[in-house]
């Protein structure tokens, strides 16, 4: 049973209409334009799997839509915000749908909600079950607990998390019968080192009651969180091809109210829940920008050209 799914449309309705739709056999709401993969001709579309970066938060035209226009194929965008690769293995209907397409673009998703000896994945969308405390918490809380309670064990938990994430990726890739493109879409290179000084400094700030963000940045790295170079390269080798987009173009742009054409007023979201933090900032400081989505399409197109109807 799926424990949590994001509701981006409810959050972002002032900025973008995502034209969300659903597919039988899965409770998630996917980014439009809507399509029925069971009614579509086999090979007439491609599928994109991933998290909020592929979904396209705050963006009118995410890279799957741009890629569809440039290839002559329809795009089935099955991205789910906060998802890991294990999400798709829970829904045979999604696997069946993507296997009717021409190819799959598999975004390198975060590993922050994968299982380890401290936590058990709880739906593979943000939440994990804490084996020590017996409750289910979001991944941000989970990793903060590790730093607060078992910082010396953090390297072990990270190694276990990465190994389990790779095992889950292999299961997903094995279930896909069409070509798979591993897609690294990030502001950072895959290789990164844990910054323990930054981890401890952030903990000290939290101990003083300061808000330091959802993630422990020095521990997780920028998105995809907890996935390092060796892990990413191992996953890429499981696939038929790979593409990479390293870009920061356009980050920090103001969020525009689609009805007024003016920047949103962050004060209007002061009393809203924590999921509205991005709107309280008034700028897109986390999700890929429109320019980055254009860069992503440019990176993927040459790789998938052999499987497309038009280049």
Whether residue 210 is predicted with pLDDT greater than 50 in this model: the reply is: yes
Q: Tell me what pLDDT residue 278 has.
A: 83
pLDDT in tens, 255-266: 999 999 999 998
Q: Which domains does the chain have, with CATH numbers?
A: 8-307 (3.40.50)
Q: Tell me what pLDDT residue 274 has.
A: 72
Task: Considering only residues 178 and 272, tell me which one the structure prediction assigns the higher pLDDT.
Answer: 178
CA distance 76 to 254: 28
Mean pLDDT of 107-124: 96
Q: Tell me what pLDDT residue 311 has.
A: 40
Q: Ramachandran region of residue 86, left (φ > 0), alpha (ψ -120 to 50) or beta?
A: alpha
Cα dist from 61 to 8, 46, 225, whole Å:
15, 16, 25
Mean pLDDT of 132-155: 95
Q: Tell me what pLDDT residue 270 has.
A: 81
Confidence of residue 309 (pLDDT cuts 50, 70, 90): low
Whether residue 254 is predicted with pLDDT greater than 80 in this model: the reply is: yes
What's the pTM value of the predicted model, to 2 decimals? 0.95
Whether residue 156 is predicted with pLDDT greater than 60 in this model: the reply is: yes
Q: Where are the alpha helices (DSSP H) in the chain?
A: 8-12, 52-55, 63-71, 86-89, 92-98, 139-149, 154-175, 196-207, 217-220, 229-237, 277-281, 290-304
Q: Tell me what pLDDT residue 201 has.
A: 95
Q: Tell me what pLDDT residue 1 has.
A: 45
CA distance 173 to 165: 12
pLDDT in tens, 47-75: 999 999 999 999 999 999 999 999 999 99
pLDDT in tens, 83-101: 999 999 999 999 999 999 9
CA distance 285 to 241: 30
Whether residue 269 is predicted with pLDDT greater than 90 in this model: the reply is: no
């Amino acid at each position: 049973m799926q424990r949590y799914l994001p509701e981006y449309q409810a959050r972002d309705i002032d900025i973008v209409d995502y034209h969300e739709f659903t597919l039988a056999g899965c409770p998630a709401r996917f980014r439009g334009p809507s399509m029925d993969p069971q009614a579509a001709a086999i090979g007439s579309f491609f599928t994109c799997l991933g998290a909020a970066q592929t979904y396209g938060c705050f963006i009118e035209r995410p890279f799957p839509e741009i890629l569809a226009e440039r290839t002559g194929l329809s795009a089935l965008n099955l991205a789910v915000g906060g998802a890991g690769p294990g999400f798709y293995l829970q829904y045979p209907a999604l696997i069946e749908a993507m296997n009717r397409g021409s190819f799959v673009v598999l975004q390198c998703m975060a590993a922050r909600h994968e299982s380890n000896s401290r936590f058990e994945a709880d739906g593979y969308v943000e939440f994990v079950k804490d084996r020590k405390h017996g409750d289910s918490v979001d991944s941000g809380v989970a990793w903060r607990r590790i730093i607060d309670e078992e910082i010396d064990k953090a390297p072990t938990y990270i190694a276990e998390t990465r190994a389990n994430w790779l095992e889950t990726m292999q299961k997903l890739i094995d279930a896909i019968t069409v070509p798979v493109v591993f897609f690294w879409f990030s502001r950072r290179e895959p290789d990164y080192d844990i910054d323990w000084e930054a981890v401890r400094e952030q903990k000290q700030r939290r101990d003083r009651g300061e808000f330091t963000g959802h993630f422990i940045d020095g521990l997780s790295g920028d998105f995809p969180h907890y996935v390092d170079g060796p892990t990413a390269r191992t996953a890429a080798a499981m696939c038929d091809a790979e593409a990479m987009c390293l870009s920061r173009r356009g980050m920090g742009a103001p969020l525009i109210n689609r009805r007024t054409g003016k920047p949103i007023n962050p004060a209007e979201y002061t009393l809203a829940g924590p999921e509205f933090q991005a709107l309280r900032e008034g700028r897109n400081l986390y999700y890929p920008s429109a320019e980055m989505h254009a860069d992503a399409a440019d990176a993927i197109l040459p790789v998938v050209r052999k499987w497309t109807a038009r280049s």
